[in-house]
Structure 1
Amino acid sequence: MQRPDNSEFPEVYSKYIQLVTTTDLLPIWDSYTHVMAEFFASIDEAKHDYRYAPGKWTIKDVLLHLIDTERGYSYRAIVCVRGDSFTPLYPMDEDLFASNTSTAGRTMADLLEEFKIVRAGMKKIFEYATEQQQMFKGNGVNGAITGRALGYIAIGHALHHKNVIEERYL
C-alpha cells in the first residue's frame, strides 16, 4: 500500500500521514501495531488512570479513543475500497464517544487485546484490495478520501497520540 498523495485526503489529515515514515505501509502494518501495543504495555500501571490536566483523558481513555477511531477508519476504508462514492463519510465526534464510555474496570491488557483485534481487521481490508481499489475515493464530508489514505491516517493518528502521551503523561 503506497503512500497517498495530497489529492487523496483532506488537508486536516496531513499531520497524521506525515508521521508515517514508510512508503509502503502494508508490509510493516504489524510492526506499527506491535510498537503501539508495546508502548502501552510498558506504561506503569500507576499511570493508566492518570490525567495530565482536569478534563483530559486518562491513558486508558486515549487507548479506547484509538480503538473507537480505528473502527471508524475501518468502516470508511471498506466503503472506499468497495467503490462506494455515494455514501457520505462523516467524521466521528471524539468527545461524544468519550463521554459515552468508561475504561473503569478495564485493564490495559484487555484494551490492548481489543486494539490488536481492530487493527487486524483493518489490515484485512487492505490485504486483498487491489491498488486500484485502494485508490477509489469515498465521499468524505470534509473532502474526498481514498482507502489507502485511511490506512496511513489510522497509523499516523495512533503515533500522534503516542507522542502526546510521551510529552504530557510520562
Structure 2
Amino acid sequence: MTTSQLLTSEYNPFYQTYIDKLPDEDLISILKDQKKEFVIFLKGLQEEDLKHSYAEGKWTVAQSIQHVIDTERIFQYRALTIAREDLTPIAGFDQDAYVPVSKAERRSLSSLIKEFEVVRDAGIALFESFEEEMYCKIGEASKSQLSPRAAGFILAGHQKHHLVLFKSHYGL
C-alpha cells in the first residue's frame, strides 16, 4: 500500500501537504526509514538546542518534538478505532493546548528520543497488524472522513514536515 493508492476521499484535504512530502512507497517501509532518519537527526542535537525557538511565540525544539510524538499517538488511535469499526466520531485535538501542558521544556533529549522510538515502534506494530481490508475502512475524525491507511501516511508526512522545519526554520 503506497501513497498513490490513497483516495482523496479518505482524508481531509488539509493533510495533502503532509502526504505530498512522502515517497510513493509502502507505509511500513516509510515508517521504519523515517524512524531511523529522525532518531539520527535527534541524536545530533545538543541539550541546549531543545530550548531554541526560531521566533517569538513559536514552539521550542523540545515542544515541537513532543508535538510530533503526541500527534503520532493521536493518529495511531484514530487508525485503530476506525480499523476496529468503531463508528463513534473522533473529536479533533487542539495542538496549541497540548504544548504548554506537556512540559516538554523539562524533558531531556534522551527521554524525547526514547519516547519517539517507542511510540513509532508501537505504530509500526499496529499498522503491520492490519489486514488489507482494515486499511480501507472509513471513519470520522475531526469532522472529516479518515481511513487507517490515510492516518498512517498523515502521521508519517507530519513527522517529515517537522523535520524539514527543524532544518529550514530552526537551522538545525
Partners of 1:46 and 1:106 in 2: CA distance: 11
Matched-pair contact (CA < 8 Å) for 2:79–2:147: yes
AA matched with 2:95? E
Does the CA-based 8 Å contact 2:28-2:128 persist in structure 1?
A: yes
Aligned to 2:2: 2
> Does the CA contact (< 8 Å) of 2:63 and 2:105 recur in 1?
no
Pairwise CA distance, 1:73: 0.5
TM-score, scaled to structure 1: 0.93
Match of 1:39 in 2: 41
Alignment deviations for residues 75-102 of structure 1 (CA, whole Å, 9 cap, x no partner) = 1010111122x21122210010012121
Give the secondary-structure state (helix, strand or coil) at the position aligned to 1:159: helix
In 1, are the aligned partners of 2:28 and 2:127 still within 8 Å (CA)?
A: yes
Q: Does 1:116 align with 2:125?
A: no
Q: Distance in 2 between matches of 1:44 and 1:141?
A: 36
Q: Please state if 1:29 is matched with 2:15.
A: no
Which stretches in structure 2 are left out of the alignment for 5+ residues? none
Structure 1 runs of 4+ off > 4 angstroms? none
CA contact (8 A) 1:8 1:149 kept: yes
Q: Report 1:64-103 matches (<5 A).
A: 64-84=66-86, 86-103=87-104
Counting helix residues as a fraction of each chain, which structure ranks higher?
2
Q: What is the alpha-carbon distance in structure 2 between the residues aligned to residue 26 and residue 89 of structure 1?
A: 24
1:69–1:92 CA contact under 8 A, matched in 2: no
Between 1:41-50 and 1:59-68, the stretch displaced more is 41-50
Query: What is the Cα-based RMSD across aligned positions, in Å?
Result: 1.3
User: Offset at 1:156?
Assistant: 0.4
Contact 1:51–1:57 under 8 Å retained in 2: yes
Secondary structure at the residue paired with 2:139?
Answer: strand
Amino acid corresponding to residue 79 of structure 1 in structure 2: T
* Contact in 2 for aligned 1:2/1:148 (Cα 8 Å): no
Q: What is the total number of aligned residue pairs between the two structures?
A: 169
CA distance in 1, matches of 2:72, 2:88: 19
Q: Which deviates more from structure 2 when the two are superposed, residues 22-31 or residues 155-164?
A: 22-31
TM-score scaled to structure 2, two decimals? 0.92
Corresponding residue SS for 1:100: helix
Structure 1 stretches of 5 or more lacking a match? none
1:17 aligned onto 2:1: no
In the alignment, the residues of structure 1 paired with residue 82 and residue 119 of structure 2 have an alpha-carbon distance, to the nearest angstrom, of: 18
The code of the aligned residue for 1:134 comes to Y
Q: % of aligned pairs identical?
A: 30
Q: What amino acid maps onto 1:132 in structure 2?
A: E
